[in-house]
Structures are given as C-alpha cells and as structure tokens.
Amino acid sequence: MSEGVDTVGLDTPPRLAVDRLLDDRQTRIIVCCGAGGVGKTTTAAALGVRAAARGRKAVVLTIDPARRLAQSMGIDSLDNTPRRVESAGEDGGELHAMMLDMKRTFDEIVEAHADAERARAILANPFYQSLSAGFAGTQEYMAMEKLGQLRARDDWDLIIVDTPPSRSALDFLDAPKRLGSFLDGKFIRVLMAPAKVGGRAGMKFLNVGMSMMTGTLSKLMGASLLKDVQTFVAAMDTMFGGFRTRADATFRLLQAPGTAFLVVAAPEPDALREAAYFVERLAAEKMPLAGLVLNRVHGSGADRLSAERALAAAENLEEGGIVDQESGKAGLRDAAAEPPGAEDRAERNAESEAGRRTARKAEGTAASTTSSGTPSESARGTAGEAESGSDVDGDTAVVDRITAGLLRLHAERMQVIARERRTRDRFTSLHPEVAVAEVTALPGDVHDLAGLRAVGERLAAGVPAGA
C-alpha cells in the first residue's frame, strides 16, 4: 500500500491518510483537481494551512476567479507573487499563497526568453495581447508554467495547486499540449515561412505561393489581424520550441513520484462521474493518484433512528397518538410488550381526555348562574378546572407538532445521507483501489483561517462512513 493510504477492510474503500501525505517530505507537489464547484479551492487552502501547521514550507497556487482564498487567509488580495500568510505556520512551517495572473505569467515568459527589443514588440502586438488574455487553454498552460517556475525556485518544500475551474477536469492535462501544438503547428509554420525566406524571395513566395491562402485568411480574419498574426509569429520564432519543451518538462514533473493528485468531488452523481473519468485518465497518463476527497458529506448524530421510523413517529404524533390509544385492537396488546414510554404516553392521553370532559362539564355548569348574573361557586371552580385541562391539552399539542416537525427533518437528513452513500458506493465499486477521505459539511461558508483549520481537521479525520 502506498504512502498516505490506510486499509480498513474488504467492504469499505481504503482511507486516505491526509496527515501522512502532508508529513511525507518526498511529496513536493499536490494537485487538487476535479469538476467545478466541488470545493477544490477550499481543499487546497485547507491542505496548505494544515501542512504549515505541521512544519512544511508550503505555497498554494490558486486559479480561482472568485478570489475567496485571499479573504479566507486574511490577505487583502492575491497576485502573481507568493505572499506570506501570517499566523499559519508552526514548528518552522510557513504558508504562502498566490493567484495566477495568466497574462502576467505569459509576459514573464516573453521577457525571460527574448531580448529587450523583441520582447517589447511582442508585448505590444495586438494578436499577442488577445492570445495571452483569453486564448483557449492559455490559463491551464500558464498554470503549468507557474508550477514549473515555483518548483525551480526551490523556496518551498510543498506546492499545492488548485486547478482551473474548467468545464472538464481533463482540460488541465490537455491544454499545455494543445497550446504547444498550436504554436508548433502547420498553420504557424506557414505564417513563418515568408519571414524565414526573407528579402525579395520572401515577397515573391508570399505573393505567388500564398496569394490564395492569404486572400482567404484576409477575408476570414481581416487584413489587419492577419498582419498582426504574421508580425507576432515572426517575433516569436525563436520561442516556439521553448513552449513545447517546457510543456513536456512540466508533464514529466506531474508524473514524477514526488507529485500526488487529489481528485476532489461532492457526493453527487455528476461530480463523481467526472471524478471517475478523471481517475481513469490519470491512470492512463501514469500520474500518481493519492486518493479522492469527498467534500460536503452530510451526517447525523442520531443515525440509529432510521428515516422510516422517524416518519412513523411523526405521523403518530400528528394523528393524536393513534397507536397509543386503548381502544380496539390497541387495547388488547400485552402490557409487557409495550415499548418503553408507552405507559407514560397513555397517561398523557388519558389526562387530555379528562381535561376535555371537564371542559364540557364546565360549559353546562356555567349556564346556571345566580339571579344577579354571577356564576355560582361550583361553576367558577369547574370552569377553572376546565381552563387548566385546556392548557395542558394545548401545550401537549404544540410539543407534539414541534416534535413531529423535527422528526420529519431528521427523516429528510437520513434520506440525503442514504442517497450520498449509494452514490459513493457506486464510485468505490468501480474504483475499489482509490483511497477516500470524507469531509463532513460545515454549517456555513469558510471565510477565515479558523474555518480552513476546521476543514483540515475533517480532512485528516476523513474516515469513510461505515468504516
């Protein structure tokens, strides 16, 4: 069994030992991935806080557009530079956090791999500005570029990556290759050809050999945009090989033994279906999977009371305790077979019935008044008894209604728990080898370090239900 995994039995998935994973100094990179909206950012931040508390020098790289990470860590804002999170480290541990600035990262690559004049030309090029700001796959590629930069600096012994919130988790793996293929592809090479030929020969080649293609491209893209693309390609000529080289190097880094992938999901069918697909893809790419983090799992401190029993008890209370009445067959039950508390319930019902009888008697007696209109002493006394009986009956009814409502709420919670367990079990039946850590849902949103510590504690204790 690999590091960070505990076996718990044949009928349950292995337990993901998060603390063991964080304490392993051979683990240098943890990548949190999965579908959008399942808590990847919170998980990454909680892992960073817990790692720093356990003596690691960690940095969290997030690509979260909601910018919740900075708020929860007490930082005014995050940018492309790692910033120290105060009060997060213990025993020599430190925590830094940063948010990927996609365009700034691209600019840094240009500035680092081109001379000053060519870098200025590239940065000012309109096509480059569009490419660096929003080209499909650029964000994922730049996340990998930034990961490579952080790893090369060697300032931290643990890097935690919160992957981009793309529509498909597979974009994270595919985007670097796609962008590298685009920059090294035939289209780019064709646009580079005139510049490489040079001089009159280049112009002749452009006018004769490419006249039809450039005419078509001019119609599709516009003459100005085509010129911007050709200028960009000419300026970036010496850098194209570097994009592919770095993409390949980062891909190998993700496959290295010091990297651990955590697939984050919610106990919902769509999220776990995508998690299962991603687990299979990681295995196909030979990337090290540490396990599954199942976020926002519901639980109950009274799970011995099933949904069916809770609903039956609620119906009994709402129908006036019909199963507790002593009429019909209910009165023939053996008293020794009565469940605990049945005798008390019967006494309460009898008291309520006595109160109702007293109230009816009081109504008749109250009609007999003295000639001056003053009720007799017996009438006043009987009315007082009736009022007391009505109060008891009303209080009991209110308590019964509240109790029935709570029982129905409990039944709904137990039904949610059962549904989540069935969903989880479908995943684990397909992937019994995947270690699981279940994180029980918090009552509110995580918005500070205390909340992140609480999530970290639940991650560390994440024993699958039934284990």
- Give kind and range of the element (H or E) at residue 393: helix 377-430
Pure H helices in 240-323: 240-255, 269-284, 307-318
Q: What is the pLDDT of residue 52?
A: 95
Question: What are the tens digits of pLDDT across the range 309-365?
Answer: 999 999 988 886 555 544 444 443 444 444 444 445 444 444 444 434 433 443 343
Residue with tokens 């051979």: 26
Strand order of the β-sheet with 436-440 is 5-6, 15-16, 436-440, 289-297, 259-265, 29-33, 158-162, 57-62, 94-99, 83-84
* Mean of pLDDT values over 278-294: 92
User: DSSP 3-state assignment of 304?
Assistant: coil
pLDDT at 229: 72
pLDDT for 263 equals: 94
Q: Are strands 57-62 and 94-99 parallel, antiparallel or unpaired?
A: parallel
Read off the pLDDT band of 303 (50, 70, 90). confident
Which pLDDT band holds residue 179 (cuts at 50, 70, 90)? low
Q: What dihedral angle (degrees, nearest 10) is formed by the CA atoms of 232, 233, 234, 235?
A: 50
Q: Is the pLDDT of residue 367 over 60?
A: no
In percent, the amount of the chain with pLDDT more than 90 equals 29
- pLDDT of 226 reads 64
Least reliable range by pLDDT among 62-66, 147-151, 191-195: 191-195
Distance, in Å, from the CA atom of 123 to the CA atom of 129, rounded to the nearest integer, reads 7
| pLDDT at 47 exceeding the cut of 90 | yes
What is the sign of the dihedral through the CA atoms of 40, 46, 50 and 53? positive
Look up the pTM and report it.
0.73
Task: Report whether 141 contacts 179 (CB < 8 A).
Answer: yes
Confidence class for position 122, pLDDT limits 50, 70, 90: confident
**Strand 5-6 versus strand 29-33 pairing type:** unpaired
Residue for token pair 């003596």: 55
Cβ–Cβ < 8 Å for 430, 417:
no
Q: State the DSSP code for 369.
A: B
Residues 376-427 pLDDT 10s? 444 444 445 545 556 666 678 888 889 999 999 999 999 999 999 999 999 9
pLDDT for the residue numbered 379: 40
pLDDT at position 213 over 90? no
